[in-house]
Amino acid sequence: MIFLRHPMPDVEPGVCYGRLDLDIAEIGHEQIQEALDTTPPIKNIIASPALRCRKLAEALAEQHGIDLAFDERLWEMHMGDWEGKPWKDINRQKSDAWLKDPFNIPTPGGESFKDVQVRVLEALQHADVETVIICHAGPIRATQMAWLGLSFEEVFAQTPPYAEAVRIWPPQAA
């Protein structure tokens, strides 16, 4: 199965975002074109409804002449009270407490990474290996943990690239 992270969002470096519905940065248009040039033929697309995902999904669907579906469960992690705030302005005691176990501990007013994983895996239940998933780094990492048996630390050791194919095989297709 091919996963594509959205193009680079238009947001200042150091800002905490997850559910903010950000547009793409100027370079995002080039990233979409690169994805159009390099993504193999596809039959199905399921995408996060976030604007930064929609733009890539709609371009690929048009190029391949296929319909696409949007699924709310593919949104990025909800960062709660921290959404849109510079990390430097977030209460350090609260962020340090969360960082002790972000897989199980939700952000204030948001969700845990485990919450992300549960909803993403539900969204992927009926997808097949010919489906392209256009989403965010969090859902890609959550899938890698579940399907590839990687740890939280392993999936966060590298960041999925913007608008480039990441192949992850569902357990039943392995």
Answer whether residue 126 shows pLDDT above 90.
no
- As a whole number of angstroms, the distance between CA 79 and CA 83 comes to 5
pLDDT computed for residue 41 by the predictor: 87
In the numeric block, the tokens 């992300």 are attached to 116
In whole angstroms, give the CA distance from residue 168 to residue 148: 8
Angle, alpha carbons 68-46-121 (nearest 5°): 160
Does residue 173 register a pLDDT over 80? no
Residues 6+ apart with CB under 8 A from 123: 46, 71, 73, 74
131 is written with which tokens? 């489906």
With bands split at pLDDT 50, 70 and 90, how would you rate the model's confidence at 17?
very high
Residue 130 has pLDDT above 90, yes or no: no
How confident is the model over 44-92, as pLDDT tens digits? 999 999 999 999 999 999 999 999 999 999 999 999 999 999 999 999 9
One DSSP character per residue, 27-84 reads HHHHHHHHHHHHSPP-SEEEE-SSHHHHHHHHHHHHHHT--EEE-GGGSPP--GGGTT
Q: What percent of the chain has pLDDT over 90?
A: 91
The dihedrals phi and psi of 150, each to the nearest 5 degrees, come to: -85, 155
Nearest to 56 by CA among 38, 37, 32: 32
Q: Is the pLDDT of residue 22 over 70?
A: yes
174 has pLDDT over 70:
no
Residues facing residue 3 across a β-bridge: 133, 166
- Domain 2-173 sits in which CATH superfamily? Phosphoglycerate mutase-like (3.40.50.1240)
